Amino acid sequence: MESGSPSTSTYQRRPEDVVASNGREVEQFALEACVARQKSGILVPPPRVPPAMLDAAYERCDEVTGEYAKTFYLGTKLMTPEKQRAIWAIYVWCRRTDELVDGPNASHITPEALDQWENRLEAIFEGRPADIIDAALCDTLSRFPVDIQPFRDMVDGMRMDLVKPRYRTFDELYEYCYRVAGTVGLMSMPIMGCDENFEGDLTKVYKAALSLGLANQLTNILRDVGEDVQTRNRIYIPLDELAEFGIDESEIVRGGLYSPVTGKVDDRWKAFMKFQIARAREVFAEAEAGVNCLHADARWPVWSALDVYRNILDAIEENGYDNFSQRAYVPKMKKLMMLPTAWQKAQKADTM
């Protein structure tokens, strides 16, 4: 698209143009589009697919979500059946999109391939799914007023991954986090819905959803530092912040901040990680502001997912900030033990 008006300058087709865009403007444009869509109630035409085939597609989405997103999946199991299916369909579309640049065929993916994937997305929103899994998403869009813009922005996040293996500042990283994770919050918000008595500003709730996506992605980045650099040659943590703690990116690349012989983590890295974890926790706190505005049947699932995912930060600390040789996670039993507290927090609605 040509740059110019606000409606066209917020996303571009070439990866280089995507990288050069203003992430916060992109996010604001999508937020406004999503709020307007939810208020309008406009839906996508339903797919012309037999119900039995749709049921099978949703079952496959259930299986994929359960296999690849265990913490996220736990939250969905607390939802109503219709909302479960919708969230699974959205998750699987997001996963398929991510697999384009991180999956087994990632080395063969070109900007043109992402253009084709986006054309396929446009067809879903026109009621013309390309396969049965796309049909599950199309069916979801025919039931909930979900806007296309965050989906477009996520594809642009994949375009960024094609050309940008490093992030100089947090503002640069913020744009990436919005595109690959904040977008999920925008996609999911119409599924969750607001409390029946909610009379406040819908934008507030969407901003909290964006914060939850950002917090989750920051957590992913901190958890996967070693894996990202070793398997993908990507460093997502801001290089200028590394420099503030006296760390050069080459030390991450060559593994110089952790000794596999002694098991010792460099003190500079520990201090850096404490700073990063504190910021992620602040963003989780911002996300909390909108959870109790959600519909009664969505609050417990979202609180559960938020609390469990935030606990990954605790696990990084418990691992001595070693995210080079260890992958922080929350054990299943601990997740289950967190559910009663999440349920208690979900009981009181915030209607303003």
The confidence score (pLDDT) of residue 66 equals 95
User: Are the beta carbons of 186 and 206 closer than 8 angstroms?
Assistant: yes
17: left (phi over 0), alpha (psi -120 to 50) or beta: alpha
Give the list of residues 6+ apart from residue 12 with CB closer than 8 angstroms, or none. Answer: 1, 3, 18, 20, 21, 156
d(CA 347, CA 352): 15
The confidence score (pLDDT) of residue 183 equals 98
Residues facing 235 on adjacent strands: 166
The confidence score (pLDDT) of residue 15 equals 83
What mean pLDDT comes out for the span 61-72? 93
| Other C-beta atoms lying within 10 Å of the C-beta of residue 324 | 20
Tell me the pLDDT band of 13, cut-offs 50, 70 and 90: low
Torsion sign over Cα 95, 98, 99, 103: negative
Q: Has residue 2 got a pLDDT over 80?
A: no
User: Are the beta carbons of 291 and 299 closer than 8 angstroms?
Assistant: yes
Given 3.30.160.160, 3.40.50.1370, 1.10.260.40, 1.10.600.10, which CATH number is that of 15-345? 1.10.600.10
The confidence score (pLDDT) of residue 17 equals 79
pTM here?
Answer: 0.92
Q: Has residue 3 got a pLDDT over 50?
A: no
| Of the listed ranges 10-24, 209-223, 277-291, the one predicted with least confidence | 10-24
What mean pLDDT comes out for the span 197-202? 96
Q: Has residue 11 got a pLDDT over 70?
A: no
> What are 225-283's pLDDT values in tens digits?
999 999 999 999 999 999 999 999 999 999 999 999 999 999 999 999 999 999 999 99
The confidence score (pLDDT) of residue 322 equals 97
Q: Has residue 10 got a pLDDT over 90?
A: no
Tell me the pLDDT band of 7, cut-offs 50, 70 and 90: very low
Tokens of 276: 């990063």
d(CA 345, CA 128): 41
> What are 146-182's pLDDT values in tens digits?
999 999 999 999 999 999 999 999 999 999 999 999 9
Q: How far is CA 303 from CA 79, 216, 233, 285, 316, in A?
A: 12, 13, 34, 12, 21
d(CA 207, CA 272): 27
d(CA 64, CA 68): 6
Q: How far is CA 221 from CA 121, 191, 224, 249, 305, in A?
A: 27, 26, 5, 15, 17
Mean pLDDT, the chain, integer? 93
